[in-house]
């Protein structure tokens, strides 16, 4: 039953009209939380015609860093759609000519990080979700700006330059200074405390030494050969998005 629900979710999360309908149905209690989490029912962050920028990617790919850095760099408030982690956000924005930044992290790294944050999750399920997410947006690859996890964390100012060039926007550039990075991590910790009552090292979107050992163990498991076909497919998608060919 759980597998069937996951398959159904993957089939629908790339269709903006159905996704938005499910979101409203969920707010009314008509959709079970194991199909779409309560977080997906929030209004803040959902793309609409007034959105100025969409920042989306698979979970654990640098989404929080990008959103906070983008806001930190701007002089005025910016209406950003973010953190729904569904292709429908991206596809809707592409159809309505709204600037979009898609974040891409290698599948194994994203899934390992996700597994540490949510130990009950399955590696295979995570890989299938990652593949489905980025397969859904492949047909729109020329309509958004793509940035890798490494580009987000190391050179976000250049990423903003690419957004401005593609969409004719005039967003201020992020300066990757020690002070700015520390401010981003401070805000992440503040948000983690708000949600959990404390800083959750397993899930906070900044580096944490406490995750290094679990990462090594999960890396050994995911590279054992059991998931080779899924990793190969994910690698092809990653290559197609970053270099233009399958």
- What is the domain-level CATH number for residue 179? 3.40.50
5 in a structural domain: no
Q: State the residue range of the domain holding 172.
A: 45-243
| Helix/strand/coil for 102 | strand
- CB environment 67-78: b (16+ within 10 A), e (fewer): bbbbebbbeeee
Domain assignment of residue 40, yes or no: no
* Residue 20 lies inside a defined structural domain of this protein: no
Task: Give bridge partners of residue 234 from the DSSP assignment.
Answer: none
Whether residue 39 lies inside any domain: the answer is no
Is residue 114 assigned to a domain? yes
Domain count, the chain: 1
For residues 12 and 25, the answer to whether their CB atoms sit within 8 Å is: no
Residue 61 lies in a domain: yes
Dihedral sign for Cα atoms in the order 220, 224, 230, 235 = positive
Residue 46 has what pLDDT? 80
On whether residue 24 sits in a domain, the answer given is no
16 belongs to a structural domain: no
| Contact call for residues 131 and 107 (beta carbons, < 8 A) | yes
Give the residues of the chain that fall short of pLDDT 50: 1-2, 25, 28-41, 245-246
Give tens-digit pLDDT for 79-116. 999 988 889 899 999 999 999 999 999 999 999 999 99
Query: What does the pLDDT read at residue 31?
Result: 44
pLDDT at 34: 43
pLDDT of residue 145: 98
Give 117-125 contacts, CB < 8 A, sequence gap 24+. 117/60, 117/202, 117/203, 123/218, 123/221, 123/222, 123/227, 124/227, 124/230, 125/3, 125/6
């Amino acid at each position: 039953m759980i597998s069937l629900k996951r398959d159904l979710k993957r089939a629908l999360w790339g269709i903006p009209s159905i996704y938005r309908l499910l979101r409203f149905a969920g707010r009314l209690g008509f959709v079970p939380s194991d199909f779409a989490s309560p977080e997906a029912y929030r209004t803040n962050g959902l793309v609409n015609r007034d959105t100025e920028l969409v920042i989306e990617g698979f979970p654990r790919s640098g989404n929080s860093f990008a959103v906070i850095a983008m806001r930190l760099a701007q002089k005025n408030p910016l209406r950003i759609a973010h953190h729904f982690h569904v292709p429908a956000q991206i596809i809707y924005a592409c159809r309505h000519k709204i600037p979009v930044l898609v974040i891409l992290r290698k599948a194994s790294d994203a899934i390992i990080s996700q597994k540490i944050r949510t130990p009950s999750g399955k590696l295979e399920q995570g890989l299938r979700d990652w593949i489905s997410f980025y397969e859904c947006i492949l047909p729109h690859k020329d309509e958004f700006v793509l940035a890798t996890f490494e580009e987000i964390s190391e050179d976000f100012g250049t990423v903003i330059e690419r957004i401005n060039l593609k969409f004719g926007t005039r967003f201020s550039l992020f300066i990757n200074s020690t002070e700015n990075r520390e401010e981003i991590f401070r805000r992440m910790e503040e948000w983690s405390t708000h949600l959990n009552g404390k800083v959750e090292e397993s899930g906070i979107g900044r580096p944490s030494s406490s995750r290094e050992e679990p990462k090594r163990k999960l890396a050994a498991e995911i590279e054992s050969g059991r998931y080779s076909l899924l990793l190969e497919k994910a690698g092809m998608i990653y290559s197609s998005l970053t270099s233009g060919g399958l």
